[in-house]
């Protein structure tokens, strides 16, 4: 009888020890941070925002123009995500996107944008002592 009780206690101890050794993993196995809930910006959206803000700083956009530029950016982003293109097709799409953006601006704003994009004559001068001069 003692042997039976000892065997039952040993079996119970081993069985309960094995069940506690296998913990439940509530976290994912990788080391990624938990995903935040709600809308998030990815890098591409952040770059678009910076471009629109830069254009706004140069030419002074109205709210309506900003909305139109965001809409153009989103349309072209969706189009580029849906289709695979050759390098020539991508170049043509970027040209159409630039033309659409310029169509939103007034002529005075376009002139200011073009003037800001032109290099100044001081930037083109070579330095007398090389790169690090």
Whether residue 45 contacts residue 76, with contact meaning beta carbons closer than 8 Å, is answered with no
Please write the tens of the pLDDT for every residue from 19-58: 665 566 555 555 555 555 555 556 666 666 667 888 888 8
Give the total number of structural domains in the chain.
Answer: 1
When pLDDT is averaged across residues 81-101 and rounded to a whole number, the result is: 87
Does residue 43 sit within a domain? no
Does residue 63 sit within a domain? yes
Does residue 5 sit within a domain? no
Cα gap 62→109, rounded to integer Å: 11
Does residue 42 sit within a domain? no
pLDDT of residue 29: 54
Does residue 70 sit within a domain? yes
Structure tokens, 50: 């910076």
pLDDT tier for residue 91 given thresholds of 50, 70 and 90 = confident
pLDDT of residue 103: 92
pLDDT of residue 118: 78
Exposed e or buried b per residue across 67-96, where buried means at least 16 C-beta atoms within 10 angstroms of its C-beta = ebbeebbeebeeeeeeeeeeeeeeeeeeee
Please write the tens of the pLDDT for every residue from 96-128: 998 998 899 888 888 888 888 777 656 556 556
Q: Name the residue range of residue 81's domain.
A: 49-117
Dihedral sign from CA coordinates of 61, 64, 66, 69: negative
Helix H or strand E encompassing 125: none
Does residue 129 sit within a domain? no
pLDDT tier for residue 130 given thresholds of 50, 70 and 90 = low
Does residue 111 sit within a domain? yes
Those residues with Cβ within 8 angstroms of residue 97's Cβ, 6 or more apart along the chain or in another chain: 72, 76
Does residue 108 sit within a domain? yes
pLDDT of residue 100: 92
Cα gap 118→105, rounded to integer Å: 18
Give the CA angle between residues 59, 39, 61 to the nearest 5°.
10
pTM of the model: 0.54
């Amino acid at each position: 009888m003692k042997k039976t009780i000892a065997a039952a206690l040993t079996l119970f101890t081993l069985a309960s020890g094995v069940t506690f050794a296998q913990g439940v993993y509530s976290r994912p196995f990788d080391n990624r941070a938990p995903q935040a809930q709600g809308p998030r910006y990815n890098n591409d959206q952040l770059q678009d925002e910076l471009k629109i803000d830069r254009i706004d700083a140069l030419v002074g956009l109205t709210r309506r123009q900003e909305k139109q530029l965001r809409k153009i950016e989103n349309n072209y982003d969706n189009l580029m995500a849906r289709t695979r293109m050759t390098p020539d097709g991508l170049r043509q799409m970027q040209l159409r996107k630039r033309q659409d953006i310029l169509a939103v601006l007034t002529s005075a704003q376009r002139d200011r944008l073009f003037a800001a994009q032109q290099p100044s004559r001081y930037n083109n001068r070579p330095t007398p002592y090389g790169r690090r001069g």
